[in-house]
Amino acid sequence: MFMFNILDEFPDPGWKNPVAMQVRHVKLDSRIVTLDAAANSWDAASGKFSDNCQPDNKLLYSKKIMIYLSTKTQEKSKRQLLFHEGEEEPEILQRHCAIWNPTLGVYGAWDTNDVQTIQINEKSAVCMSERLGTYAIISEMVEVPFERPEFTWVFVAKIIGYIVSIICLIIFIATIQINSYLWEQFHILHMNLSILTIIGHVSMLASLIQDIRIDRHLCTTVGCVIQIGYLGTALFIVAECHAVFKGVTNGLVGGRARVYLLIVWGINLATLGYNILVNLKEMGRDPQCMVGWENEVKWHLFVPIFCCLGVSLILIVIVMCNINYSMIRSSSLVQELTSTTYGLMVVIVLYSLTWIFGSLAHIRSTQIEMPDFQPVFQILNSWSGVYIYIMLGVFSTRYRTVMQGAVKQRTDELINGSNNDNK
């Protein structure tokens, strides 16, 4: 005896196996089909039916059940999502054949472990199982991009921070451009780092404009510029740490700025190009225009930044451990190198904290409900230009000399110091 039951709806279709389907939202996308089988015999002597005989699991394993289901929505899945306006942007991420598992949770849930999806598309599915039970098509839903509410004080603090940071960095860049005394390797790198930080900050301010947020192409452009700005800043931190490292270990304190510029800008643009090549269809969906909404897109920004900061930290620790044994003989140059080293160390720590909180704020987890780290990230990031200016500018012996108008005096000290060292 076979028993069938076909239902159009099912109570609370959102229950699911959280291990098998690691998404927040699912929906039923077909009718629900229940299949059961049993057999018994009539005992003429007792005038009763015998106990039901259940199907043999071994036979079900060798002769599996095939289930044919039709979808309700007939909507294409996200794998066919296109980038340009006017083209389809489905709400369904992926479809699965599922079976109701009464042992999951308190009330049971949909599970994909005991049913195999043979074929599935936007119209129908072919499922295979070795278990009798209740079957359906479950659709994983695309998470609708959302932005958490922002406190007024956070908005005001970050706007002030971005503006003050940009002003400080413009002063830093202008001072380097005007004074030829600062036209040496480290301050040229400082200047390019500051330019990229300004690019990142201006892009973050542009991402607050509603007209840009609702236009996917403009949002994508702003997200790409954000990546250029902040990844470029991290790359120049690596370059400066390597320059300090070469100064301490080999005594080289100049002549390599052009090489660093070509390498850093090249890697920065190549990384952006790879991200666009791989993730263009996913870009521009984030409400804050932070590259893209999906975690995979954001990791193409965060991972290179973390790699740069990790390498920078290793180099700067080696430098700090060997600064007293530098290959540079001039005590004045060692003093300048020391101020740059300690300034870079502080910048690395603060910039690392900024983007650690940035990843916690933007990378979403389907398993853990994370606190909102956006306020911390926004405050640290918006004021990053200020601590870059203080650590790499104000704390720099050479930069302070220019600001104090004591370039000639400092030059004489360097010449006299060099003569004394040679003696």
Position with higher pLDDT, 113 vs 160: 160
Q: Which structure tokens are listed for 116?
A: 């195999």
Q: How many helices (H) and strands (E) does the chain have?
A: 12, 11
> What is the mean predicted confidence (pLDDT) over 122-140?
85
Sign of CA dihedral 236, 242, 247, 250: negative
DSSP state of 144: P
Q: SS3 sequence, 64-118?
A: CEEEEEEECCCCCEHHHCCCCCCCCCCCEEEEEEEEEECCCCCCCEEECCCEEEE
Return the pLDDT at 80: 42
Mean pLDDT, all residues of the chain: 82
Q: 152-411, what's its fold?
A: Rhopdopsin 7-helix transmembrane proteins (1.20.1070)
Name the residue with tokens 């927040």.
Answer: 24
Please give the Cα distance from 354 to 383 (Å, whole number). Answer: 10
- Contacts of residue 352, defined as CB under 8 A and 6 or more positions apart, other chains included, come to 306, 309, 313
Per-residue pLDDT tens digits for 66-91: 888 888 876 666 544 445 555 556 67
- Whether the predicted pLDDT of 54 surpasses 70: no
For the chain, domain boundaries: 2-141, 152-411
Please give the Cα distance from 305 to 309 (Å, whole number). Answer: 6
> What is the mean predicted confidence (pLDDT) over 32-57?
69
Please give the Cα distance from 21 to 2 (Å, whole number). Answer: 31
Q: Evaluate whether 248 touches 319 at the Cβ level (below 8 Å).
A: yes
Q: What is the value of pTM for the model shown?
A: 0.75
Q: Evaluate whether 242 touches 315 at the Cβ level (below 8 Å).
A: yes
- Whether the predicted pLDDT of 298 surpasses 70: yes
Name the residue with tokens 């099912």.
Answer: 10
CA 212 to each of CA 83, 171, 235: distance values in angstroms, whole numbers, following the listed order: 16, 29, 28
Q: Measure the N-to-C terminal CA separation of the chain; round to a whole number of Å.
A: 107
The alpha-helical segments, DSSP class H, found in 9-132 are 57-62
- Whether the predicted pLDDT of 56 surpasses 80: no
Please name which of 274, 150, 379 lies closest in space to residue 283, comparing C-alpha atoms. 274
Per-residue pLDDT tens digits for 166-184: 999 999 999 999 988 888 8
Q: Which structure tokens are listed for 368?
A: 């853990």
- Whether the predicted pLDDT of 224 surpasses 70: yes
Q: Evaluate whether 125 touches 159 at the Cβ level (below 8 Å).
A: no
Q: Give the total residue count for the chain.
A: 423
Same topology between domain 2-141 and domain 152-411? no
Please give the Cα distance from 41 to 313 (Å, whole number). Answer: 79
Please give the Cα distance from 245 to 251 (Å, whole number). Answer: 9
> What is the mean predicted confidence (pLDDT) over 208-237?
93
147 burial level (CB within 10 Å; 0-12, 13-18, 19+): exposed
pLDDT level of residue 100 (50, 70, 90 thresholds): confident
Q: What is the CATH number of domain 2-141?
A: 2.60.220
Please give the Cα distance from 392 to 168 (Å, whole number). Answer: 12
